[in-house]
Amino acid sequence: MRGHYLSIYVLLMVLSGAPATMAFTEGKAILSVSDATITSTATLVDGQDAFRVALSCTNHSASVNVRWGDSTVTATKGQKVPFGSTIEIRNSAPVYMISEGASVTVSCTKETK
């Protein structure tokens, strides 16, 4: 995804004639987060963390999607994480997840500054 944004940025800078400068914030540490069982109730997966650069989470279900968002996430509201897939969340706010069906195990890794 970063390559896509970089390509757009460079194209815009070339077209505008402005000098192209860009900085990326990269993590300096990787932390494993305990697996979480996601149910039909919004579950806190990782709390507020000003040092978090990214949270990568994998939905281990073979058939049930989960959704992520703030504490108001529901089975029909929030970003969908399809079964068997991984999502990278780049935010320092608390991250909640909820299952669209049966209980699901989600594993996460946190990248910090």
Residue range 78-99, pLDDT digits in tens:
999 999 999 999 999 999 999 9
pTM, two decimal places: 0.76
Q: How far apart are CA 42 and CA 75, in angstroms?
A: 9
Q: Residue 27: what pLDDT?
A: 78
Residue range 28-52, pLDDT digits in tens:
899 999 999 999 999 999 999 999 9
Which residue intervals of the chain are DSSP H helices?
2-16
- Using only C-alpha atoms, the chain has a radius of gyration, in whole angstroms, of 17
Helix, strand or coil for residue 3? helix
Residue range 51-66, pLDDT digits in tens:
999 999 999 999 999 9
Q: Residue 8: what pLDDT?
A: 54
97: which DSSP letter?
E
